[in-house]
Structure 1
Amino acid sequence: MKIRKAIASDIDQVWEIFTKVIKTGDTYVFHPDTPKSDLEKYWFAPYMNTYVIEENGIIFGTYIIKPNQIDLGNHIANCSYMVSPKAQGKGIGKKLCEHSLQIAKEKDFEGIQFNIVVSTNKAAIALWEKNGFTIIGTTPRAFRHAKLGLVDTYIMYKDLKI
């Protein structure tokens, strides 16, 4: 498998992953019925870099990396990751995270901040913690989980300069 920058012809496969991940309503803030026409602004906007992990032309996961804030806050990155439900449990999220850490360092980001990690997403939290991220804050009842109702979210951070 290789990780590379996404290109225009990847949009349909990325959409397939995106729509399956958000449809569950348990990990991302995007409405489960988000239309494909919104994918560009959420995953392919000009101010972000989009990557895919693929093998033999089949995309198994994707992530974005962008400045967390504008101007005086643009030295901290923000990332979002999605793995195809068919490929979960195969280490793809780990590979995407490791790649994003490398890219963030190459782009001279001083850290990476995840603004909203759903507290019930134990697999993601464990993966981020294994990669050196720590929970630096909790926002009470900040996510409308499809099955559990209002649940907390975490802000997670990794310093890239230490």
Structure 2
Amino acid sequence: MNEVTVRSATDADWPAIWPIVEVVVRAGETYTYPRDLTQTQRRAIWMQTAPGITLVAVDDDQVLGSARVTPNQMGGGSHVANASFMVGPAARGRGVGRLLCEAALDQARSAGFRAMQFNAVVETNTVAVALWKSLGFDIVGTVPEAFDHPTKGFVDLHIMHRRL
């Protein structure tokens, strides 16, 4: 792996982001998105416009993963960011998720957000839970059996938060 860089995504990146989003969502193990969303529906969710932003992690112009940052709520809750991350199967375990999260935190801070919150971190996604904790996130709540995992049944969802 050469040096991985993180930059803002462009519309031209979508064809490389789509296969990553598709494999992660269809697996149904880490996101609450409906598994049967079309490419058009997923693009509308993933590719953010201001005040949100979509990021890509690239290595020699190959997209390895992507992140989206958006206000967690509207109005009085819009000072807290929310973010989602997806890394392609071939790039997992290579630090891509960490780079994307660090970049997302920087983007959120620069945009004036005061905190970042993840609303639905599946408890069985132990790699992500450990990564978010190592980056300063705390579990501030757990919703019992709020996620229907395709192989493990009903498992908990964590709400994770950190100040910026």
- TM-score interval, normalised by the smaller of the two chains: over 0.9
1:116-161 deviation digits (Å, cap 9, x = unpaired): 000111000000000000000011111110111111100000011x
Q: Which residue of 2 aligns with 1:22?
A: 25
Structure 1 residues without counterparts, runs of 5 or longer? none
Q: Which residue of 1 aligns with 2:12?
A: 9
- Which residue of 97, 100, 106 maps to 1:96? 100
- Post-superposition shift, 1:31? 2.3
Q: Does 1:33 align with 2:36?
A: yes
- How far apart, in 1, do the equivalents of 2:32 and 2:89 lie? 18
- How far apart, in 2, do the equivalents of 1:39 and 1:13 lie? 13
- Post-superposition shift, 1:32? 2.4
SS at match of 1:147: coil
- How far apart, in 2, do the equivalents of 1:26 and 1:106 lie? 32
- Which residue of 49, 70, 77 maps to 1:73? 77
- How far apart, in 1, do the equivalents of 2:140 and 2:123 lie? 13
1:49-93 deviation digits (Å, cap 9, x = unpaired): 100011222100000001000111100000000000110000000
- How far apart, in 2, do the equivalents of 1:146 and 1:115 lie? 20
- How far apart, in 2, do the equivalents of 1:40 and 1:97 lie? 20
Q: Which amino acid aligns with 1:84?
A: G
- How far apart, in 2, do the equivalents of 1:85 and 1:51 lie? 18
- How far apart, in 2, do the equivalents of 1:147 and 1:60 lie? 26
SS at match of 1:128: helix
- Which residue of 93, 109, 118 maps to 2:122? 118
Q: Which residue of 1 aligns with 2:46?
A: 43
- How far apart, in 2, do the equivalents of 1:11 and 1:97 lie? 19
SS at match of 2:86: strand
1:9-57 deviation digits (Å, cap 9, x = unpaired): 1111111100011121110112222210112221014352100011222
**Is residue 67–residue 83 contact of structure 2 (8 Å, CA) maintained in 1?**
yes
For this pair of structures, how many residues does the alignment match? 160
Q: How does 1:122-133 map to 2 (within 5 A)?
A: 122-133=126-137
Q: Does 1:159 align with 2:154?
A: no
Q: Does 1:57 align with 2:61?
A: yes
SS at match of 1:108: coil
Report the aligned-residue RMSD: 1.0
Q: Does 1:149 align with 2:153?
A: yes
Q: Which amino acid aligns with 2:85?
A: Y
Q: Which residue of 1 aligns with 2:143?
A: 139
